[in-house]
Structure 1
Amino acid sequence: MGEKWPEDWARLVNEYLDFEAAAGYPDEGPRIGGDSRPAEVGEFLTGGRKWHSPPKIRNLGKLGEKRSYADNWWMWWRSLQPSGREVVEETGMMTMPMEMEWGKLTKMSGRNGFLQVMASLFWWGLEEFRDGREDKSGWAAAVGDVEGILYGVLRSGEVQ
């Protein structure tokens, strides 16, 4: 479905596949936190992970719009980051220091790790492209941020 999406999405998918390959394609893995994740992710997980039936996002919104999918997604994503990343007040985006302690991100393989992040971005993309929205910058920024993190984790050589 995402093959006609911008090249950024294809790069992210490739980085994700390289990450899982480096981890040895485990089925299980440590569970990532869920305190601030979008409700749709939790519903997908508790509803039996029906890949053929992605959840409908009720309020896509944007970063900074309280209770929107986009804002909840960014809060969840921030909660997964190493301590070296900081939120830039003006934009709500995060810094990408040259040197980071990758920590728990190196262990986020398998169905309970980055796969949840990838699925949540895919659903977001489905909504963006289905509705023909003009401004896809929030989704594109999220895709770019996840790609940058996966790139850094892979280059660290610490994937477990």
Structure 2
Amino acid sequence: MRLGKLGKVGEDGTFADNFWTWWIALQPPERVVFEGRLSRTSEADWGKMLELCRKSRVLQVMAALLWWGEALDLLNDPIGCMDWDSAVDDVRWACLQMGKAELTG
């Protein structure tokens, strides 16, 4: 495990930046990046994301967050933790939206 490559969002080739690039690519097109953050719209079509859930893709996201968080804890990296906290918050929000869409769809 190469803990020194965790990096920060915006640092090309680091885990943090690669995670966000991957996570953004999974999002519905209605979620756009604005000022470095993904928009939060209830009008998004969550169908694609729900399909990815059925294919265990969200489990991969959760595993990546778990590994990232554990690595940050080992490094005692408070700045990196802010990027991780933002990622956890956004994944949580997206999962809540997918749950609502599944119930109403």
Range class of TM-score, shorter chain: 0.7 to 0.9
Give the aligned CA root-mean-square deviation in angstroms.
Answer: 2.1
**1:144 and 2:89 correspond:** yes
Which one of 16, 20, 24 corresponds to residue 74 of structure 1?
A: 20
After alignment, is 109-118 or 138-147 more displaced? 109-118
> SS where residue 5 of structure 2 aligns?
coil
Q: Deviations over 1:7-51 (max 9, x none)?
A: xxxxxxxxxxxxxxxxxxxxxxxxxxxxxxxxxxxxxxxxxxxxx
Equivalent residues, number: 104
Q: TM-score, normalised by structure 2?
A: 0.88
Question: Aligned equivalents of 1:158 and 1:143: distance in 2?
Answer: 23
Aligned-pair distance for 1:157? Answer: 2.1
Q: TM-score, normalised by structure 1?
A: 0.59
The structure with the greater share of residues assigned to helix is 2
Aligned-pair distance for 1:113? Answer: 1.4
| Larger RCO: 1 or 2 (CA < 8 Å, sep 6+) | 1
- In the TM superposition, 1:109-148 aligns within 5 A as 109=53, 112-135=56-79, 136-148=81-93
- In the TM superposition, 1:25-64 aligns within 5 A as 56-57=2-3, 59-64=5-10
* Shift in CA distance, 110/157, structure 1 to aligned 2, threshold 3 Å: closer
